[in-house]
Amino acid sequence: MTDETTIRDLIARRAAAITAKDADGVLATEAADVVIAGLAPPLRYAGPAADTRHQMEAWFATWRGPIDYEIRDLQIVSSDTVAFCIGFVRIGGTKTDGEKNELWARQTLCLQKLGGVWKVVHDHHSVPFYMDGSLRAAIDLKPN
């Protein structure tokens, strides 16, 4: 199996774990000192002290049923020990209050081969915002 195939498999397993709201499955893909710059505050959290499990489980609890989590336009560049992966993710589903939500976000995952195993060491999701003075997140955008 090539490194790119292994990395694509890791990203697919991570997406399946997010869909299933399986914190253990997501955490299994991450390095212990992962740095996360997600959509929710703070600007970033890092390492074991950041308690990524708590952050993730709190977010999972805001959804009723599975989370729709689709990866699109995934590009991977890798060497023997590091890789970066860019693309888009669609996040959607029904919130606990019954409201249906969907948005596209940009995603960059940086991976490192640690002890012969690929792990996510940096996870960055973002949405653009309108530069018209409103500072509104541009959550109505979709990839071409």
Query: What residue ranges do the domains of the chain occupy?
Result: 3-126
CATH architecture of 3-126: Roll (3.10)
Give, as one character, the DSSP assignment of residue 13. Answer: H
User: Among candidates 63, 62, 55, which has minimal Cα distance to 26?
Assistant: 55
Decide the pairing of beta strands 117-126 and 30-37. parallel
Q: What is the mean pLDDT of residues 36-41?
A: 88
Residue type present at position 18? I
Rounded-to-5 percentages of helix, strand, coil across the chain: 25, 45, 30
SS3 (DSSP) at 19: helix
Q: What is the mean pLDDT of residues 115-142?
A: 93
Q: What is the CB neighbour count within 10 angstroms for residue 47?
A: 13
Q: In this predicted structure, what is the pLDDT of residue 49?
A: 64
pLDDT, tens only, 1-30: 799 999 999 999 999 999 999 999 999 999
Q: In this predicted structure, what is the pLDDT of residue 1?
A: 75
pTM: 0.92
Rg (CA), the chain: 15
User: 141 has which bridge partners?
Assistant: none
Give, as one character, the DSSP assignment of residue 129. Answer: B
Asked if the model's pLDDT at residue 45 lies above 90, the reply is no
Q: What is the CB neighbour count within 10 angstroms for residue 7?
A: 21
Cα gap 48→55, rounded to integer Å: 12
